[in-house]
Amino acid sequence: MSKKGISVTVSGGLISHVRQLYDAALKYLASGHGVRQGINGYTDDAPPAYIITVAAVEAFLNENFLSDLPRLIFKDSALWAIPSDSLDRMELGMKLVLIPQFLFSKSFSRGSQPYQDMALLIKVRNDFVHYKMKGTPPEYLKALDDRGISLIARSKVEGVDYAWPWKLSSSEGIRWAHNTACKIIDRLVSFMPADNAKAMAEHSERNFTLISDSHVREWFVERGIDPDSDHPAQK
């Protein structure tokens, strides 16, 4: 039982669950179940991974930029003139732009990476949380298709593809979400003055580490699976 007054962080635990979901997805693909297209394949673990990843980013932002400690360190910032309840209700994409701008006079460019991927990830998260059984795919799906993040039916006929929730239920979708969070956190830390960033950098490096393409390919090779092959094998 925790005692009153003790504070802990949760962002590291949340992102570790995303990695666990990714590990589970890879093991499922390696077992020969489901559809696999190279290192990408179908997994039921993707939708919760999107939701948890966004939660991890927001938790990190709140822990490190809206808690009592930054209010003390950056006590003269105009950020604190914004009512706390307004900050709490603010959409995450807006928080990511405004909070570092107020605190450090530095922020994300909305037209550049990694902010664009984070904004897209938030849309994916919202589409699953507010899913209403609509068959029309979201407009952003083609961009994820082009990047090999979502799944495309290899034998589709006359434009018939997987339903969009299935297309987004992909192992590479989990890895993309995880890595997007890592890049956002790394950039957030870079905005901070060097003398304030050390502890946060250690926390982010420990918990928000990229999963590389080479790591995934080696994972399949170690299990005797050609990372460029498909399952079922395509004729």
pLDDT of 34 reads 87
Q: What is the average pLDDT across 169-182? A: 98
Say how far apart CA 190 and CA 107 lie, in whole Å: 10
The mean pLDDT of 147-151, rounded to a whole number, is: 97
Tell me what percent of the residues of the chain surpass a pLDDT of 90: 75
Query: In terms of C-beta distances under 8 Å and separation of at least 24 residues, what long-range contacts does 146-152 make, across chains too?
Result: 147/176, 148/38, 148/40, 148/172, 149/40, 149/173, 149/176, 151/35, 151/37, 151/40, 151/41, 151/42, 152/37
Domain ranges in the chain? 11-231
DSSP string, 168-211: T-BHHHHHHHHHHHHHHHHHHHHHS-HHHHHHHHHHHHHH----
Mean pLDDT over each residue of the chain, to the nearest integer: 91
Phi, psi of 120 (to 5 degrees): -70, -40
pLDDT of residue 78: 92
Instruction: Give the model's confidence band at 1: pLDDT under 50 very low, under 70 low, under 90 confident, else very high.
Output: very low
| Residue of 92, 213, 56, 209 lying closest to 147 (CA atoms) | 213
- pLDDT 10s digits, 61-117: 999 899 888 888 889 999 999 998 999 899 999 999 999 999 999 999 999 999 999
pLDDT greater than 60 at residue 204: yes
Q: Please determine, for residue 121, whether its predicted confidence score (pLDDT) is greater than 70.
A: yes
